[in-house]
C-alpha cells in the first residue's frame, strides 16, 4: 500500500511557485492575494492564517480582512468591489462558509472572475467545462489531480467514482477526470444514489468528498483501489488537548490495507489546497500583468 503524502507534493508545488514568483518580480509584478473572513469561525481562522502565512513565506503580497459576524451583505459586497479595483491584488478569496445571513452565491458572482482564484465564479466554472486553460480550477480538485499524478496513478480509461456532488469538490473533480488530459470514466455518487457501497466497489479510483466522518468502510472499496480522501472532519476526542481529532470521510485504518494507494487525513489533500491556491494566484498575476 502506497501512502500518498500531500505534504511532500505540496512542498514541490510551492517550490515551483517560488521560481514563478522570482520571474514575476523581475518583470515588476508582485503577486497579491486578499483573504476576507467574516465572523470568528475557529476552523476558518486557522485556514485563513495558513493562507496568509504561506504568502509571506513565498514573498507574495497578502491582505487579510477580518469583518465582524454582523457585517451586512452590502458591506461585504463593497469590500469585494474595492478589492476588484485594487491593482495590487490579483486574487480574491472570501472564506467559506460565511455567516447564515450572507448570500454566498451573490458574493462569488461579485468577484472579478479574473481574480476568482477559488474558481467558483460562473465564468470560471464554464471555462472548466470547456477546458479553457485561462480559467481557474477549484483548488481542492486541482490538488487531488496533482496527487494522483505524483503517485503515478494512470487515470486513462480508469473507472472513477466521485462520492459527493458539491460545486467546491465533487462536480469540478468529475469534470477534471473527464477532461481530455485525464480520460477517466466517471460516476458521480451522492446521498440519493442507490446502494452506495456497491457503486464505490466498482471503482479503480474512489474520491471521497461528502463531509461525513469515516463514512467509507472497508466493504465499500475493492482490493487494489486508489482512494483520495478529501474529507476533513472534526470529531470530539477527550484525549486530545484541542478536544477533537481530524478524520477523513474514509475509515482509514480498515480501508488502507485494501488499497494500492491512499491519502491520509491530515496530511493528504489538505496541504494541496493551499498550494494550488498559490498556483492560481500566480496564474492571475501573469494574466492580469
Q: Mean per-residue pLDDT for 181-205?
A: 96
Q: Residue 7: is its pLDDT beyond 90?
A: yes
Q: Mean per-residue pLDDT for 258-268?
A: 97
Q: By the 8 A CB rule, do 49 and 78 touch?
A: no
Q: Residue 47: is its pLDDT beyond 90?
A: no
Tell me the β-bridge partners of 234: 246
Output the average pLDDT for the chain.
Answer: 96
Give the list of residues 6+ apart from residue 74 with CB closer than 8 angstroms, or none: none
Half-sphere exposure of 254 (CA within 13 A, CB side): 11
Rounded Cα distance, 16 and 50, in Å: 19
Q: Among candidates 188, 227, 235, which has minimal Cα distance to 208? A: 227
Asked whether the CA dihedral 126, 131, 135, 138 is positive or negative, the reply is positive
Q: Mean per-residue pLDDT for 139-158?
A: 98
Buried b (16+ CB within 10 A) or exposed e, 222-252: eeebbbbbbbbbeeeeeeeeeeeebbbbbbb
Mark whether 283 is an active-site residue.
no
pLDDT of residue 219: 97
The size of the chain, in residues, is 289
pLDDT of residue 157: 97
pLDDT of residue 44: 84
Instruction: Return the C-alpha cell found at 247.
Output: 478524520
Mark whether 51 is an active-site residue.
yes
Only one residue has cell 468529475, namely 174
Mark whether 63 is an active-site residue.
no
The torsion defined by the Cα of 45, 48, 54 and 56, in degrees rounded to 10, comes to -90
pLDDT of residue 111: 98
pLDDT of residue 213: 96
Residue of 116, 118, 229, 249 marked catalytic: 118
Rounded Cα distance, 274 and 277, in Å: 5
Residue of 51, 115, 171, 279 marked catalytic: 51
Amino acid at each position: 500500500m502506497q501512502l500518498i503524502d500531500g505534504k511532500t507534493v505540496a512542498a514541490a508545488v510551492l517550490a515551483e511557485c517560488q521560481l514563478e514568483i522570482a520571474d514575476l518580480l523581475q518583470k515588476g509584478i508582485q503577486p497579491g492575494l486578499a483573504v476576507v473572513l467574516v465572523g470568528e469561525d475557529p476552523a476558518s481562522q486557522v485556514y485563513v492564517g495558513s493562507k496568509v502565512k504561506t504568502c509571506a513565506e513565498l514573498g507574495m503580497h497578502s491582505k487579510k480582512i477580518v469583518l465582524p459576524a454582523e457585517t451586512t451583505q452590502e458591506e461585504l459586497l463593497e469590500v469585494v468591489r474595492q478589492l476588484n479595483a485594487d491593482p495590487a491584488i490579483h486574487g480574491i478569496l472570501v472564506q467559506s462558509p460565511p455567516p447564515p445571513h450572507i448570500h454566498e452565491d451573490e458574493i462569488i458572482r461579485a468577484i472579478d472572475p479574473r481574480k476568482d482564484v477559488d474558481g467558483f465564479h460562473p465564468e470560471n466554472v464554464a471555462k472548466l467545462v470547456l477546458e479553457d486553460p485561462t480559467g481557474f480550477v477549484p483548488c481542492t480538485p486541482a490538488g487531488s489531480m496533482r496527487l494522483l499524478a505524483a503517485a503515478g496513478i494512470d487515470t486513462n480509461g480508469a473507472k472513477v467514482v466521485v462520492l459527493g456532488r458539491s460545486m467546491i469538490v465533487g462536480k469540478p473533480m468529475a469534470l477534471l477526470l473527464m477532461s481530455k488530459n485525464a480520460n477517466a470514466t466517471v460516476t458521480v455518487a451522492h446521498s440519493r444514489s442507490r446502494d452506495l457501497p456497491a457503486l464505490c466497489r466498482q471503482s479503480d479510483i474512489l474520491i471521497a468528498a461528502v463531509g461525513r466522518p469515516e463514512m467509507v468502510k472497508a466493504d465499500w472499496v475493492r482490493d487494489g483501489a486508489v482512494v483520495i480522501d478529501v474529507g476533513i472532519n472534526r470529531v470530539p476526542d477527550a484525549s486530545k488537548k484541542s478536544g477533537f481529532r481530524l478524520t477523513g470521510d474514509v475509515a482509514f485504518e480498515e480501508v488502507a490495507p485494501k488499497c494500492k494507494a491512499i491519502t491520509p487525513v491530515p496530511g493528504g489533500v489538505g496541504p494541496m489546497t493551499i498550494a494550488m491556491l498559490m498556483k492560481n494566484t500566480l496564474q492571475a498575476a501573469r494574466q492580469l500583468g
